[in-house]
Structure 1
């Protein structure tokens, strides 16, 4: 399988939307409303009930995601195969994530380092286990290095490897990440660039 990774830009918004509308959760409709918004939930979004991932929250999360992508607040990378999106990685400067329930920047303060966080992967069900998350992670690290980041940081779950949307621990270990902390049931792993 040939995989091409592209940084999400507004010109690729329709591809991103098609992936989240039709592909990413076709095997788990309970998550069909996430639109990768949970790491951007603020007190205001919580009041608007955007914190869930099911169908009833989909319209609000979708609209907010469009706005956040168009303004650069949500960033990440799309993986393509045969011209179709087969994967997504939500990755941005660590300080860009302001989830009031799980704020990585506050819970694991940096020491002035420039850190890029990897918070989520979504891989098309029929393409899981084919190296897409690895390709995305490698691209994130290379792009972060080119953009002057000192570290890439990620948050795989401590115990539940079946909830792999943070990425499984082995993915990070196999790509040069080391354990540096633990929070809220997650490992905190970093790769120095």
Structure 2
């Protein structure tokens, strides 16, 4: 049985972050910058610029995510941090109208992205990453975590469309659904206090 561990994404783990993001799907090209930039910024950057942006974000701290390891090999990533720092969230009308939390509240955190290398899918890494993200948020003073997962019980979903996470993963970790955002996407919350 594989040993799965998680660590905060510090600059000392930069190579592991890159390994996690480069194993399939859009992680390599996105560099998990999508949640923190506007459409205009996104459209005006290339992969190398996004990689540099993530590098700078991690270097300046605090860690904007966690890395999962399978038997010591970097295998997955989750972005978690204060919601107000994830620009795209506070500019997304469906989320803004669905949330009951003040948009500038630093104690409201958000999970916005999962990436798991192809060879490590199906091993429960998303659940491990989410559990570690809950602990990280709580230890960092978060009062509540929001997320915007895909309800896979409706329609067909390509694996690249599941970077938000699946509703079942969040429900299994004690989140509750508070609103439908779009067909097949919901807002979930978990109080931490």
TM-score (norm 2): 0.82
1:12 is matched with: 13
In the alignment, the residues of structure 2 paired with residue 174 and residue 15 of structure 1 have an alpha-carbon distance, to the nearest angstrom, of 27
Q: What per-residue deviation string (whole Å, max 9, x for no partner) do you get for residues 89-127 of structure 1? A: 000111110027637874435145821110000011111
CA contact (8 A) 1:157 1:169 kept: yes
Structure 1 pair 149–73 and aligned structure 2 pair: CA distance change class (3 A): closer
The reply to whether residue 80 of structure 1 matches residue 80 of structure 2 is no
The reply to whether residue 49 of structure 1 matches residue 49 of structure 2 is no
CA contact (8 A) 1:97 1:105 kept: no
1:40 is matched with: 36
2:187 is matched with: 188
Aligned partner (choices 122, 128, 140) of residue 121 of structure 2: 128
The reply to whether residue 139 of structure 1 matches residue 129 of structure 2 is no
SS in 1 for 2:80: strand
CA contact (8 A) 2:109 2:142 kept: yes
Q: What per-residue deviation string (whole Å, max 9, x for no partner) do you get for residues 69-94 of structure 1? A: 21237600000122211110000111
In the alignment, the residues of structure 2 paired with residue 103 and residue 97 of structure 1 have an alpha-carbon distance, to the nearest angstrom, of 14
Q: What per-residue deviation string (whole Å, max 9, x for no partner) do you get for residues 105-156 of structure 1? A: 7443514582111000001111111111111111111222222211121101
TM-score (norm 1): 0.82
The reply to whether residue 102 of structure 1 matches residue 92 of structure 2 is yes
In the alignment, the residues of structure 1 paired with residue 173 and residue 65 of structure 2 have an alpha-carbon distance, to the nearest angstrom, of 18
In the alignment, the residues of structure 2 paired with residue 63 and residue 33 of structure 1 have an alpha-carbon distance, to the nearest angstrom, of 12
In the alignment, the residues of structure 2 paired with residue 75 and residue 31 of structure 1 have an alpha-carbon distance, to the nearest angstrom, of 15
Aligned partner (choices 103, 107, 110) of residue 114 of structure 1: 107
1:175 is matched with: 173
CA contact (8 A) 2:82 2:106 kept: no
Q: How many residues align?
A: 181
Structure 2, unaligned runs of 5 or more: none
Cα RMSD of the aligned pairs, angstroms, is 2.5
In the alignment, the residues of structure 1 paired with residue 28 and residue 92 of structure 2 have an alpha-carbon distance, to the nearest angstrom, of 21
Comparing 177-186 with 156-165, greater Cα deviation is found at: 156-165
2:60 is matched with: 71
